[in-house]
Amino acid sequence: MSLTKVEKPYGRSYNFSAGPATLPDEVLETARDEMMNYKGSGQSVMEMSHRSKVYIDIFTRAQKSLKELLKIPDNYDILFLQGGATMMFSGVLMNLIKVPGQTEKPVVDYVITGDWSKKAADEAKMFSDFCTVNIACDAKTAEGYVTIPDQSTWKLSPNAAYVHYTTNETIRGLTFNTLPEFPEGTTVVCDMSSDFLSRPIDVSKFGVIYAGAQKNAGPAGATIVIVRKDLLDRSLPFCPSAINFKKQAAKDSMLNTPPTYAVYICGLYFDYILKHGGLEAVQAQNEEKAKILYETVAQSDGYYEVLVKDPRFQSRMNVPLHCIAGGEPDKDKMTPHELKFVAEATKLGLVNLKGYRDLGGVRVSMYNAMTVDGLKMLREFMNQFKAQNPPIKKE
Ligand code: PMP
């Protein structure tokens, strides 16, 4: 029997977008209910002054909920800024390289495990007049970024101002399922954009965590920065005020207008996660979803293939895959089978499965708000597609 279109409330689809990404219905429903007149204030949250009491309550609640979710210790500030994770690539550098007592040119260490950490390192290189950028590890091989070299091979600098890495690479799905450990005293800076809040983490191991909200925490527009307070005195003098952690922390992220509505939605999302069992529950669900997908691929007799083969580094968030023997790829690196896969999936209400533009194929992003039911439906679709579309043999 052929699959029929998904039936979800409001005619919504299962949305596998890599970001901006799917949000929980409950969050959107609350936003809808509060849209025209937020709790009797006579205004939409979008229309409020960020200095008003009603909005400051929303903002501080979002901070409090995030602190509770991630068990953020008291010696950290939580900032909601603008500019995206991309702004933070240079932002963290401009905020952190003046190490107290260091007179020589600072060194910053970068661990490159994919496209985003490479971009972060490239951005740091723009500041080569002020610091030396040391690539402590570059995971790229002839096949691309498919595995992460053992940490014992990384060339960390003894006095680096910080070491930067990316927990989950959104494009190629290469991830640290076990987070790396660094020598005592290392200032660890982490781009967690695409697996933020996907599992519990020990915040005290990090100097700075930053993430664009638009994958696992809310809509685009808010950039979340969690910074240890003792690092607030290390900025370059020309670090722009809007992204100066110390200046923003002193004004509780209100030095300029924060992304007010985006922070409100983030707050609703944090409360939603707290209400539904916190990060342990999120992690269990993310493991279950990933298991469904990786097993479907493993049981496909090679019909589907994932890019990252080593389970230690297989992402629970973003999984690029190809239909092997799907015919000749076109200019967008999509084979006829893959084009058909994406088109048929879309018709069934499984949307945004097209692979990243440089990779082609299919990419399944399954952030926190994607349900296990979504993955079960995808599994059925993948199995049906395989049965109906035999491999295309090369002439
Ligand atoms: N880092 C990672 C891991 C990402 O996935 C992205 C966005 N896809 C970015 C950084 C850049 O984020 P933004 O678009 O918010 O600048």
The average confidence (pLDDT) of the chain is: 97
Nearest to 76 by CA among 66, 91, 86: 66
Helix (H, G, I), strand (E, B) or coil at 258: coil
Residue of minimum CA distance from atom 5 in ligand 1:
170
19 ligand 1 Cβ < 6 A? yes
* 374/76 Cα distance (integer angstroms): 36
Annotated active-site residue 154? The verdict is: no
**Cα of 205 from ligand 1 centre, angstroms:** 22
Residue 392 — pLDDT band, cuts 50, 70, 90?
confident
Residue 212, phi then psi, degrees to nearest 5: -70, 145
Residue 395 pLDDT > 90, yes or no? no
DSSP string, 300-336: TTTSEEES---GGGB-SSEEEEEETT-----TTS--H
* 137/115 Cα distance (integer angstroms): 14
For 135-168, what is each residue's pLDDT tens digit? 999 999 999 999 999 999 999 999 999 999 999 9
* 148/139 Cα distance (integer angstroms): 6
Report the alpha-carbon angle 287-220-317, nearest 5.
Answer: 15
Count of CA atoms in the C-beta half-sphere (13 A) of 267 = 22
pTM listed for this prediction: 0.97
For 201-217, what is each residue's pLDDT tens digit? 999 999 999 999 999 99
Residue of minimum CA distance from atom 12 in ligand 1:
85
**Which three-class secondary structure string do you get for 76-112?**
EEEEEECCHHHHHHHHHHHHHCCCCCCCCCCEEEEEE
Buried/exposed 248-273: b ≥16 CB within 10 Å, e otherwise: bbeebbebeebbbbbbbbbbbbbbbb
* 149/156 Cα distance (integer angstroms): 13
For 296-349, what is each residue's pLDDT tens digit? 999 999 999 999 999 999 999 999 999 988 888 888 899 999 999 999 999 999
Q: Which 8-state DSSP code applies to residue 350?
A: E
248 ligand 1 Cβ < 6 A? no
**Cα of 113 from ligand 1 centre, angstroms:** 14
The amino acid occupying position 230 is D
What strands lie across the sheet with 76-81, from one edge to the other? Answer: 76-81, 223-228, 208-212, 188-191, 162-166, 107-112, 132-138
* 357/372 Cα distance (integer angstroms): 27
Place of tokens 């007049």: 129
- The one catalytic residue in 115, 191, 195, 271 is 191
